[in-house]
Chains A and B, each alone.
Chain A
Amino acid sequence: MRSKLILRLVALFFALAALPASAALNVFASVPEWAALAKEIGGDKVNAFSATNALQDPHRIEAKPSLIARARNSQLVVATGAELEIGWLPMVLRESGNAAIQPGQPGYLEAASVVRLREVPARLDRADGDVHASGNPHIQTDPRIILKVADALAARLTLVDPANAEAYKANLARFSERWKVAMARWELAAAPLRGTPVWVQHRSFPYMADWLGLKELGALEPKAGVEPGSAHLAGILERQKATPAKMILRPVYTRSTASDWLGERAHIPVVVLPFTVGGTPEAGDLFGLFDDTIRRLLAGLR
């Protein structure tokens, strides 16, 4: 009697655990922007899952059991690449035992592979902090790059799931059209930002700076991933007197101490940017992300 009950409970447990699996293509995105993009291109044909949220530092994620389980069930992994996820994604993929999503397979796409990366270090030395050998991986801050990745993602979805090729093609066309219209709107609105000198907390925004013509004077972090000390900040304050910046940009997941300290003393605003989808309540999708980013930048200018 009791063993029968246990058996039933075990069966129920397995049934519940297996329940969410459905016919749609499971896309495992390393960061929220690619999950959002997969939703745009995949529509109802895909289940997009983001391994991280906007309040997490994408460099410092752990190979959690939940991520291994998701990777096991996925048909496509979309990562940023350029070593952004090097501390956890390779482990998640290997542990999952899912052969279809290993690097080199059609089920593994790196967004950075379709982008010419900026800030490729001239020398590779850990004394320079958390350097990325292939260049700066924070590519999602430029909408022109989003468009390129959208093309690559649609092609890859078609490769992995040819049955829905038409849907992906149509969704991509619709997305590209809307995106180009939105880009024109953002560029028009952001015209006053051109040439604005800024400090950045972490080198998170070179692609956005390039797109909007912002002038990055430097980063508060003395070395990538290293929190600035007071002497370093005092040095930046000196430089601020000689070449004044208009604002300090900080992605929402970083610590506020350093940028607040500098903002207070230099009397310039600290602009906290969503950085990715979900970083602020307004940045609910990719369009919202850039709407909110531009709005916050313009508010910082005033």
Chain B
Amino acid sequence: MRELRESYEQRIQALEKRLADTESQASQAASSAVEAQATADSVARRPAAESTFNPAVSLIIDSKFTRQQRDPSAYRIDGFVPSGGEVGPPKKGFSLGESELAFSANVDHLFRGNARFSLAEDDGAGVVEVEEVNVETLAMPAGIKLKAGRFLSGVGYINQQHPHEWDFSDAPLAYKAFFGYRLQNDGVQLRWVAPTDLFMEFGTEVAAGDKYPGAERKANGAGVWTAFAHVGGDIGDSSAWQLGLSHVRANPRERGFEDNGISNSFSGSSQTWIADFVYKWAPNGNSRERYLKVQGEYLQRRESGELNYNLNADGVAEASSAARFRQSGSYLQAVYQFMPRWRLGVRGDWLRSGTADLGTLDPAGLPILAGYNPTRQTAMVDWSPSEFSRLRLQLARDKSRNGESDNQVWLQYIMSLGAHGAHKF
């Protein structure tokens, strides 16, 4: 009995002490808040706890059901060197899609950290990909921002958008052909916003360039350089616009690709220009009822260097020649919200394989580089019961493959759980 009483007394004392500590902490917090606010009568609403500093966590779940005429595993964009990215449509029928798990928080007074992982399944095995892991500065002077780590490049317009922000279920053909659907950099980014009433942003990036249009590198230094500029503003209360011009330069060494079962590689220089625009209209700027969004981008790439044909197991080519490519692509899309929660969209995609100068190589050995201009027309309707959910039906006629038209039907849902950060314009 006595033991029991003593133990209870001890526990009561401990509890009292914790209560007193908590009270003093709360009053300290309140007093510092008052100091901070100068004239504050607010109270510290949240008790201090370790979990208070958890980063914002967001989970996007995305699932698709498709009906396609052609086999998506044999997807290719004719006239273009395969970009090696996830460019094809998902498998026929039901597919899991990619879930995105994102964390972000201020690290301290100088840095903010972002991390985003995609979770998918490939041939029955779980796959985790690191989409973004980076830190950005919060307190640089004069409108300068630095970002380091893995990030989506600031070039173009759609490049920085995550798949769940897209207005269609898949990326524009031009991005698929030129960047493996998006340019993802491991490196550093410097951005500067000009102190003007007209929005002007300039940026440059230096990165590893291990991915298309670069190639895996074994050398020191960087493999891809970018520069971009965006200007933007309003036209009255109802319209907003943004224009951009970007440049991507890479020097791939032995960038491999398969064509008709034969391994080839390219070494040389690759330069891409991107011009982009976006225009948004909503009556009085109130996008709740109706809005219109029109966006388009034009990409042009020049590559010149050495093309090695039919590499054997030791990487020795059967034939090599100087080669030049000049290719371009564009898309134009419009999305209209005709009543709250309902949107309609159309998109056109055009690619031009342009002139491929293969030098002394026999074009018959490289059928994928035969001249062809792929096109695609897409229409979609989506319904968003809230800002956190979206259901979409998309129809597309994809003529990426020479002589094979692929009619596709997509059903997709995108759901966002947890903290959901603001989207870019």
Contact = CB atoms under 8 A, between A and B. Distances in A.
Interface string A41-67: 000000000001101110011111110
B145 interface: yes
Interface stretch (A90-98, A193-201, A210-218, A234-242): A90-98
A72 B42 contact: no
Nearest to A18: B196
A86 B42 CA distance: 20
B280 interface: yes
Nearest to B417: A126
Nearest to A70: B197
A57 B291 CA distance: 13
B232 A65 contact: yes
Interface in A61-116: 61-66, 68-70, 72-73, 86-91, 94-99, 102, 104, 113-116
Given A55-B286, A56-B284, A156-B38, A64 B198 contact: no
B288 interface: yes
Contacts of B140: 97, 99
B39 A155 contact: yes
B55 to A, nearest CB: 14
Contacts of A64: 232, 234, 240, 280, 425
B5 interface: no
B93 interface: no
B362 to A, nearest CB: 45
B38 A159 contact: yes
A198 to B, nearest CB: 23
Contacts of A68: 193, 199, 201, 232
Interface in B131-172: 136, 138-141, 143-145
Interface residues of B, number: 55
A65 B230 contact: yes
Chain A's interface size range is: 35 or more
A97 B232 contact: no
B423 interface: yes
B98 to A, nearest CB: 22
B42 A65 contact: no
A5 interface: no
B304 interface: no
Interface of B: 33, 37-43, 45, 109, 112, 136, 138-141, 143-145, 191-201, 230-234, 237, 240-242, 280, 284-289, 340, 386-388, 421-425
Given A65-B241, A113-B33, 20 more contacts: A14-B196, A21-B195, A21-B197, A53-B284, A60-B286, A63-B423, A68-B193, A69-B200, A70-B197, A72-B143, A72-B193, A87-B387, A96-B143, A113-B37, A114-B37, A116-B41, A116-B42, A126-B386, A126-B388, A253-B288
12 contacts: A20-B197, A21-B196, A63-B423, A64-B240, A69-B197, A94-B112, A102-B138, A102-B139, A104-B109, A113-B42, A126-B388, A225-B386
